[in-house]
Structure 1
Amino acid sequence: MDKYQLVTFVQRRIANPIIRTALLRGIPLPGYALLETTGRKSGQPRRVPVGDGLDGDVFWIVAEHGRRSAYVRNIEANPRVRVRVGRQWRTGTAHILTDDDPRERQRELSRLRLSARLNAVAVRSLGTDLLTIRIDLD
């Protein structure tokens, strides 16, 4: 089992279900937000925990597995998304930024709050192909 397979197994089967449930029940988890995309095949809402990258009317994500992540492929098919930070859902349009430096983006986000620093460390250590996503919130 390679790094990508191990990390995605743990995230999909253990970490993400626990974090997603807590966030949906209104339990605050510093450093986390919930991203809702539309399934590219099913058309159904898909919710995945992501690092809290809220910066004013922009939400930043550094996807740790790039285009291998299902939510990134969903965004490619339909860029309209929702993000839940705290108890509030916000809609927006996602843009995949292939020319952005994801490590530099994480450094910038880390200046906003400590939880972003912790998320950046996890993403860099567990990630296999970092990719920046910018969501322009409505």
Structure 2
Amino acid sequence: MGLDRDTKHRIVTTFQRRVANPLSLKLPGQVLVETTGRTSGLPRRTPVGGRRIGDSFWFVSEFGPKSQYVRNIQADPKVRVRIRGRWYEGTARLLPDDDARARLRTLPRMNSSAVRAFGTDLLTIRVDLD
């Protein structure tokens, strides 16, 4: 029997917050999205897997509007993205009408596999880089 969506979300986000994200933040090659905390106003960095295509950076959130960084984007779409050690400013756009599963097939395989396996409410996000 599988886990319900809320239980799966709690388990995965607790693991990400306490184990995976602190380790990933230290890796120099890890792509990061920096949002502004909607309550604190402080910068919040989240490791993501995605791909730059032209002047845009594409990625998929596994928990959609339940993800804290998605909620931060909804409050303030101005973000920064660190790609290959360099920071880019941009404006994030939530794309609920995009086929997130199809989009994952165009993004880095390892991260896409994890997002598909653990995600419960996939949401495509495009950052238009300045």
Instruction: Tell me the TM-score normalised to structure 1 length.
Output: 0.87
Q: 2:124 corresponds to which letter in structure 1?
A: T
Q: Cα offset for 1:119?
A: 1.0
Structure 2 unaligned spans of 5+: 1-5
Quote the residue 1:71 is aligned against: 69
| 1:136 and 2:128 aligned | yes
Q: 2:81 corresponds to which letter in structure 1?
A: V
Matches within 5 A, 1:81-120: 81-109=79-107, 116-120=108-112
CA contact (8 A) 1:34 1:47 kept: yes
Identity %: 56
C-alpha separation in 1, matches of 2:84 and 2:61? 20
Partner of residue 9 from structure 2, selected from 4, 18, 38: 4
C-alpha separation in 2, matches of 1:34 and 1:43? 18
CA contact (8 A) 2:50 2:60 kept: no
Number of residue equivalences? 125
Quote the residue 2:55 is aligned against: 57
C-alpha separation in 2, matches of 1:96 and 1:107? 18
Quote the residue 1:112 is aligned against: none
SS of the residue aligned with 2:39? coil
User: What's the C-alpha RMSD, in Å, of the aligned pairs?
Assistant: 1.2
CA contact (8 A) 2:21 2:46 kept: yes
CA contact (8 A) 1:37 1:81 kept: yes
Quote the residue 2:3 is aligned against: none
CA contact (8 A) 1:52 1:85 kept: no
C-alpha separation in 2, matches of 1:57 and 1:91? 11
Q: Cα offset for 1:108?
A: 2.5
